A and B are shown apart, each in its own frame.
Chain A
């Protein structure tokens, strides 16, 4: 006689998922996504190639024209590229989530007794690794080109602010990923958001020379505030108003988009 399992009718089970299970399932899913990144390193192209290439390209191409020399331009461009890269990295969250959700393995996740939100929160957590890589690489590139920060504390805080802001903004793209049907469409829409947001900000050029209508846009672009906050942290080593605007803005984004994403996701899950 084979060993018998406990009959289904005799099991005492709860219909609730405990907080502990939500956290442990999310961490397992994050672990899964880190494994996936390791298996498919091309996922890291945007956070490795972009900081290296953009730093070199922008510094040498615009350095002379905008700031007179490369070394004068670095304090402007390094925070700019940092924010731009983080934004790009966060925008791929949506397409990757969509692609993952269309895979057969999601069928199993849905039928398993796990926290419903884990397949969503896991990848978002794992993406912090990507933002950190992007941030670290930009630092290294800046350092190699001769950029020096005012204080280490400021530099670290600036890096952390960038990673945090990227994570918050990734919820917007996550919502897209959940709502839109194909990964390609998600990618298209993400790019359409990304370009104006990335370039029409204070990331690459001083905004004073822009026409006034463009300045209006730049001044409401959240990226402008993040870039200014990081610049101040890097170059003066101080926390200014922009830091608080960025922080509050980022938290606001999470407060709005996380529940929306969760609701849209749960409806499908």
Chain B
């Protein structure tokens, strides 16, 4: 909440944004891989870039992390321009890419020690930090093995450990859980939440909707190099479909009565596709209380009441699948 009020306060908004991108463009040959992306990512949140393969998520990350120069637009990391103040920006971020950015030919300890030395730690500090991180990521048994004997999951963990030698205020994770087994994936989520609770801002890309739903405070849906929707998971769902109220009745004879009362109280069109079952779109959850009171007053008995939220999958398909696919889905439903 403090975040929200801070954002409304014009002058303060600047410093509260971890990332501010305006009209970012990247062109590869004929392909506008990123086509005018605006992002305002508040400090201290988990922000997900969600989109299908080839939507431009990684290209956006590469521009924000100084790995690629934008062909148009600008981006600031904590107020520092990514194109002009590259070295400052690099001191504020850490990046974990899709492919493990570690050296296959060296051991886990050697990898971490070298990264730590490069970041300015002394020899003894570097070795100490490497040992700590290996223990934290459950890699201490494999510390002195070269990475060509590591499994994919172990490499990902070492990769993340390498990004956390010094905890950066802004951490980019490009598909951090792709290819991980469910247990490791949950561990990864826990690590991410811990980083945020100690003051980092996280930007991650993902193809998994449940991941964005469970983990992210805000989501930008990316398609064809553009932001097609932005908001909290709840807002995105609300924008696409309304929740549906399901009423299960004990007596079939009540069906018509219930439909009538529901339409009166909620002011919507109720429907009954099967016996003893009434559904109605639910815009305002507050009014459901009124409905339940009215039903009790009419002496109707309910077997079950449930609310079905639209899933992020629906949101995603509607937003990125093109109109045709969305229509087709609508027709089927």
List chain A positions with a Cβ less than 8 A from chain B. Answer: 2-9, 11, 13-17, 21, 24-25, 28-29, 31-32, 35-36, 39-40, 103-114, 118
Q: Are B77 and A2 touching (Cβ within 8 A)?
A: no
Residue of B nearest to A39 (CB): B105
Residue of A nearest to B174 (CB): A107
B281 on the interface (CB 8 Å rule)? Answer: no
Residue of A nearest to B77 (CB): A8
Q: Are B162 and A108 touching (Cβ within 8 A)?
A: yes
List chain B positions with a Cβ less than 8 A from chain A. Answer: 15-16, 18, 43, 65-67, 77-80, 85-88, 90-95, 97, 99-106, 110-111, 114-115, 117-120, 146, 162, 167-170, 194, 197-201
By a CB distance below 8 angstroms, the chain B residues around A16 are 87
Given contacts A7-B199, A8-B18, A111-B66, A104 and B100 within 8 Å (CB-CB): yes
Q: Are B169 and A6 touching (Cβ within 8 A)?
A: yes
Q: Are A5 and B91 touching (Cβ within 8 A)?
A: no
* Closest chain A CB from B147 CB (angstroms): 10
By a CB distance below 8 angstroms, the chain A residues around B67 are 107, 110-111
By a CB distance below 8 angstroms, the chain A residues around B97 are 104, 107-108
Question: In the docked arrangement, what's the CA distance between A118 and B114, Å?
Answer: 12
- Given A107-B97, A108-B162; 19 other pairs, CB 8 A cutoff: A5-B200, A8-B18, A8-B168, A8-B169, A11-B78, A11-B91, A14-B87, A15-B88, A28-B118, A31-B114, A104-B97, A104-B99, A105-B111, A111-B94, A111-B95, A112-B115, A112-B118, A112-B119, A113-B119
19 contacts between A and B (CB under 8 A): A2-B197, A5-B200, A6-B169, A8-B169, A8-B201, A13-B92, A15-B85, A15-B87, A21-B120, A31-B114, A35-B106, A36-B103, A39-B105, A104-B97, A104-B99, A104-B100, A110-B66, A111-B65, A112-B118
Residue B78 contacts which of A9, A17, A36 (CB distance < 8 angstroms)? A9
Q: Are A113 and B87 touching (Cβ within 8 A)?
A: yes
Given contacts A3-B198, A32-B114, A104 and B87 within 8 Å (CB-CB): no
By a CB distance below 8 angstroms, the chain A residues around B146 are 39
